[in-house]
Amino acid sequence: MTRCKTFPMAVFASGFYFSLYLLPVSMMVGYHTQLVLINMTTNEQIGVRKYKYFWDENGRFRNPFDQGKVRNVLMRLSPDRSLYQIPANLPAACAKGCCGEVEMTGAKKARDEEKQILLDSVV
């Protein structure tokens, strides 16, 4: 800038301004690329301790959705329609190890009891 007297200051200022966004955006791209490679969501990665399906009986971390880096990326680039559908047979899907069948059944039973109490009070 000192050698060239005709260097426009607006170019320098805009370059500096846009470079402030470069670091945070590149960090987000890196973080989400890592999540795609291990096939996890941000919510799962942040709260990994609260999801029991990530932990085996010995207390070791195990991602049941990881299918290898290449297949994980391909799944994100061309997702299958079945990934967005809730299974019609939810307890059978839970029996495969995705979630605790006991927890789902207990929660459903509590909701059913609450609905029944509300219906009894109306009638």
Reported pTM: 0.56
What are the C-alpha distances in Å from 42 to residues 16, 29, 69, 117? 31, 13, 17, 38
* Domain co-membership, 70 together with 116: no
Q: Are residues 54 and 92 in the same domain?
A: no
Tens-digit pLDDT profile for residues 81-102:
776 776 666 555 454 555 544 4
Which tens digit of pLDDT belongs to each residue from 22-62? 999 999 999 999 999 999 999 999 988 888 888 888 989 99
Q: What is the pLDDT, as a whole number, of residue 29?
A: 96
Please enumerate in sequence order all residues whose Cβ is within 8 A of that of 62, keeping only pairs 6 or more positions apart, or say none.
54, 55, 56
CB 42 within 8 A of CB 67: no
- Mean pLDDT (the chain) is 79
Q: Which domain range does residue 107 map to?
A: 86-123
Using CA atoms of 75, 80, 85, 87 in order, give the dihedral in degrees to the nearest 10: -90
Instruction: Let me know whether 100 and 77 are in one domain.
Output: no
Residue 73's Cβ-count burial label (10 Å; 0-12, 13-18, 19+) is middle
* Cα-Cα end-to-end distance for the chain: 84
Q: Count the domains in the chain.
A: 2
